[in-house]
Amino acid sequence: MLDHILSILIFFPALAAMLGFIVHKDSMRTYGIVVSVVEFVLSLWLWYAFDGSIAGMQFMEQANLVPAFGISYLLGVDGISLFIIIMASFFTMLGIISLTETRRIKDLIITLLFLQVTMIGVFAALDAILFYVFWELSLVPMLLIIGIWGGPLRIYASVKFFLYTFTGSLVMLVGMLFMAYFYFQATGQWSFSLLEWYRLILPENIQAWLFVAFFLGFAIKVPMFPFHT
């Protein structure tokens, strides 16, 4: 089971969210709590099995998706990403337990579970395209949460949020595509593996432009000052 623990952590809340559509709304809060607790326990199991004496990625999973372009389903964690995955699971569980919202509670819990899927996927992905897919998919539950359960200006806020984050993500995507192209120029092969990209030696001016592209994508979505409004 540990061979696929990261996939389980990603797709368990996705399956639970889909099954949530057939759960009675009066039982949905309890259902959401149980699912989030199980997910948190799974993340703790990952931490227990993690060998801190080994450098590099652990629990790696790989399956070719588009071999011609070096795109694969590549997962793995190191100590930092493991900690963030545990925190994401913990705060999702805490958020569902402490929910005071009563409007469309069933839809809200399903949305939170889908958001958890994207968060775990982002921190476990070692393929740039896979990372980008999870990164962009996180927009959907976030927009729903803002647009449905937000304040009086929720529609304005959700549209503004989408435009800003999508624009930033496109800039980041350009940076990723350039990295893949530079890797192709250097090796004659396409690859979106972050582990392979580590081997690239880039000119300082190229590094500066790539930093701007990735910084904008991350800073807008986090959001960091002065990109928070």
User: For the segment 142-196, what is each residue's pLDDT rounded down to a tens digit?
Assistant: 888 888 887 778 888 888 888 888 888 899 999 999 999 999 998 989 999 999 9
Rg (CA), the chain: 19
- Tell me which of 55 and 13 has the higher pLDDT: 13
CA quadruple 37, 40, 46, 50: dihedral, nearest 10: -130
pLDDT at residue 228 above 70? no
* Alpha-carbon span 176 to 153, nearest angstrom: 34
Question: C-alpha distances in angstroms, 178 versus 81, 89, 100, 184, 192?
Answer: 25, 33, 45, 10, 10
DSSP-derived 3-state class of residue 190: coil
Structure tokens at 19: 């099954």
Residue found under tokens 């793995």: 76
* Alpha-carbon span 46 to 42, nearest angstrom: 6
Tell me the Ramachandran region of residue 71: left when phi exceeds 0, alpha when psi lies from -120 to 50, beta otherwise. Answer: beta
- Tell me which of 99 and 72 has the higher pLDDT: 72
State residue 156's pLDDT score.
Answer: 84
State residue 29's pLDDT score.
Answer: 92
pTM: 0.90
* Report for 46-55, 110-119, 146-155, 210-219: range of highest mean pLDDT: 110-119
State residue 227's pLDDT score.
Answer: 64
The 10 Å CB-count burial string (b at 16+, else e) for 192-225 is bbbebbeeeeeeeeeeeebeebbbbbbebbeeee
State residue 211's pLDDT score.
Answer: 92
CA quadruple 32, 36, 38, 42: dihedral, nearest 10: 160
State the pLDDT confidence band at 6, using cuts at 50, 70 and 90. very high
> For the residues 93-112, what does the mean pLDDT come to?
90
